[in-house]
Chain A
Amino acid sequence: MGFKNYCFKKSLWVFHFGGASCNNCDIEILDCLTPRHDLERFGILLVGSIRHADVLLVNGSINIHDKERLIEIYNQAPKPILVVAIGACGCTGGLFTESYTFAGPVDKIIPVNAYIPGCPPKPEAIIAGIVKLVKNS
């Protein structure tokens, strides 16, 4: 098996970056950790620093102020890193594309490996998306 697959065979550490969002997606991501969905039993952990992460979750429409931060976070991430754009805003910018502060969507700023659409996507959808991504990489 390749080095990448070897890395991903063990537990996944996930770092979350929230752009300019309404936080529905952030709450649904956090919800994945709570007892009903309980991602932690699979060893998936939300980490506090990008340097420890295998997966970068990005949500929110990125505004000009956030754009540099996102690029910086991506540069600091240890490669290989899988980037997932979550929610309608993360995937395409959603309702906010015509705003005077819009600088996204995410895939115009950093390369994205998977898209999980929804407004917000249910925790089941987020989990399914991450599992599918890992299986395919």
Chain B
Amino acid sequence: MDSEAIIGLFKLRFKSYILDVIKKNEKRIIITVNPDAIIDIADYLYKSAGFRFIIATAIHSRKGFEIHYHFSKDSFGLILNIHVVLDKENPQIESLSNMFNASNWIEREMHELFGINFMNHPNQEKLISEGNWAEGVYPMRKEFK
């Protein structure tokens, strides 16, 4: 099994949810998916395909709020970015933290910095903002003209 095969399996299984695939090389692949599928995708990657969750990156762009979930298949040195684009006005997505603990803190941080709501997060409390900035302020959001 190599990274080509793993991606092939993934594409077959989630065909209807995949919006775009960008393959930089054997070890760096970005797949844009429908946000509704995130729980099933993360479940498959973590439980069946043996990927490790590295971290998630939120981006505020003209398209809206984007998140890259970075998964690593250590035996191949492969980093798979699962990319979603969320709504501009009301960005929200299901939390992965009921499945594993690795995403618990980063989802809280993305909530504080960008204002993205992670639905059903076990404890969406403050992580770093206490005493540093006020409620309702999202320091990483940008102004777009």
* Contact between chain A and chain B defined by CB under 8 Å: yes
Chain A residues with CB under 8 A of B131: 64-65, 68
Interface residue B100 (Cβ < 8 Å from any Cβ of A): no
Q: Distance in Å from the Cβ of A19 to the closest Cβ of chain B?
A: 13
Interface residue A11 (Cβ < 8 Å from any Cβ of B): no
Tell me which residues from 100 to 136 in chain A have a Cβ below 8 Å from any Cβ of chain B.
100-101
Q: Name the interface size band of chain B.
A: under 10
Interface residue B130 (Cβ < 8 Å from any Cβ of A): yes
Interface residue A61 (Cβ < 8 Å from any Cβ of B): no
- Complex Cα spacing A64 to B130, Å: 10
Q: Closest chain A residue to B140 by CB distance?
A: A100
Q: Closest chain B residue to A66 by CB distance?
A: B131
Interface residue B139 (Cβ < 8 Å from any Cβ of A): yes
Chain B residues with CB under 8 A of A65: 130-132
Chain A residues with CB under 8 A of B76: none
Q: Distance in Å from the Cβ of B137 to the closest Cβ of chain A?
A: 9
- Complex Cα spacing A63 to B133, Å: 10
- Complex Cα spacing A90 to B132, Å: 19
Tell me which residues from 77 to 135 in chain B have a Cβ below 8 Å from any Cβ of chain A.
130-133
Instruction: Taking A65-B132, A101-B132 as given, write out 10 further A-B residue pairs in contact, using a Cβ cutoff of 8 Å, ordered by the A residue number.
Output: A63-B132, A64-B131, A64-B132, A64-B133, A65-B130, A65-B131, A68-B131, A100-B133, A100-B139, A101-B133
Q: Which residues of B contact A (CB under 8 A)?
A: 130-133, 139
Q: Which residues of A contact B (CB under 8 A)?
A: 63-65, 68, 100-101
Nearest 6 pairs of A and B residues by beta carbon: A65-B131, A100-B139, A101-B132, A65-B132, A64-B132, A64-B131
